[in-house]
Amino acid sequence: MNHPSTRRAPLGVAVVGTGAMGADHVRRLTEVTSGARVVAVADVDADRVAAVAAAVDDCTAHTDPVAALDAPGVEAVLVASPGPAHEAILLAALERDLPVLCEKPLTPDPASALRVLAAEQRLGHRRIQVGFMRRYDAEYLRLRALLAAGTLGRPLMFHCRHRNAAPHPSFVDAMLINDSVAHEIDATRWLLGQEVTAVTVHRPTPSAHAPTGLGDPQLVILRTADGALVDVEIFVSCGFGYQVQAEVVCERGTARIGEAHGLMTNTAAGWGGAIAPDFVERFADAYDREVQAWVDATRRGETTGASAWDGYASAAVCAAGVAAQRTPGESVPVALGDRPPFYDDPPSHDGPPSGG
């Protein structure tokens, strides 16, 4: 293939998966991101993918994602299909030496993630970035810079709240970990610079508003290699909106983000502000920055952001978390292999650092 860094024309991107997230990325690449264009889209839903392609100039529609990778003009891939489909498309992209931005999860389980890591290492250079968008959120970036400066001392505890107004009807207990707490798992590794070694889950009496059979909310406790404790309140049926809040408690001070104190109002009825309705609105700027940084790095011939190793580490912690859901109150160790030297030194980049 022509190396993207040698081309002056916009980066040709294939988007795999055109559901809500994938369609939003097509819009973003077409209307917001500079230096890129969508040249192919793929989805198992023929009508849906045809409608998405019809709205983009010179874009081909495919029901076979591998065919999309081989479409004329494709130089990079953005994967936004369901997690179980990720391994096959990632392996196909690596076979073609195509740069990839893969929405989390890398894959749904540690074993398949390790197969992807092995394939990337055989290729000899990194091609995969995992879409943990919080690494590109302005508040998270400021918090990481503050912690990296060391003025607050060593992190001791990390308090997290992750709330959604209501879950999808098909939401099940394991998805609380794999689809939601996965973000706090990556944030923990990225902000604290430590691997997670054990997970404990506590299960209070479910909310009366939780769907039948869903144990919501839950309290998830992560322990890191250096002994920090992280507590995550995951509550996906809170009913009032979408909130992501975090506070790091260090030896010489604390730092908190996610209060959303932008516009505050005072009226006869009281005071208050707006709460985002969903993650798309709350992290819109982060998604924009993430995709732009990926395009810019790819055009330079670099791979930045969260690596395939970060995706594997998240999958390993999630697996322990799902196991911990079955034994409430008991600590479940994380089975995490040694990080290969291939992932030890992240390449130069203009975005947030990779690695845990």
pLDDT at 104: 96
The CATH code of the domain at 151-280+312-333 is: 3.30.360.10
What's CA 227's distance to the chain center, in Å?
25
- From 272, 246, 356, 251, select the one nearest 308 (Cα to Cα): 356
- From 279, 274, 276, 252, select the one nearest 263 (Cα to Cα): 274
The CA distance from 86 to 132, in Å, is 15
Question: Are 34 and 95 in contact, with CB atoms under 8 Å apart?
Answer: no
pLDDT at 284: 84
The CA distance from 343 to 127, in Å, is 12
pLDDT at 1: 46
Q: What are the backbone dihedrals phi and psi of residue 165, each rounded to the nearest 5 degrees, phi first?
A: -65, -45
pTM for this structure? 0.91
Packing angle, helices 138-149 and 182-192, rounded to 10: 30
How is the chain split into domains, by residue range? Answer: 4-134+286-306+338-343, 151-280+312-333
- From 24, 51, 48, 53, select the one nearest 38 (Cα to Cα): 53
Q: Which helix (H) or strand (E) holds 128?
A: strand 128-131
pLDDT at 85: 97
Neighbours of 19 (CB within 10 A): 14
- From 106, 103, 332, select the one nearest 220 (Cα to Cα): 332
Q: Give pLDDT tens digits for 97-132.
A: 999 999 999 999 999 999 999 999 999 999 999 999
pLDDT at 275: 67
* Reported CATH class of domain 4-134+286-306+338-343: alpha beta
The CA distance from 244 to 60, in Å, is 37
pLDDT at 282: 73
pLDDT means per 10 residues in the chain (356 residues)? 59 97 97 98 98 97 98 98 97 98 97 98 97 95 95 97 92 96 98 97 96 96 98 95 93 90 60 63 87 97 96 98 98 96 64 38
DSSP SS3 for 158: strand
Q: How many helices (H) and strands (E) in the chain?
A: 11, 15
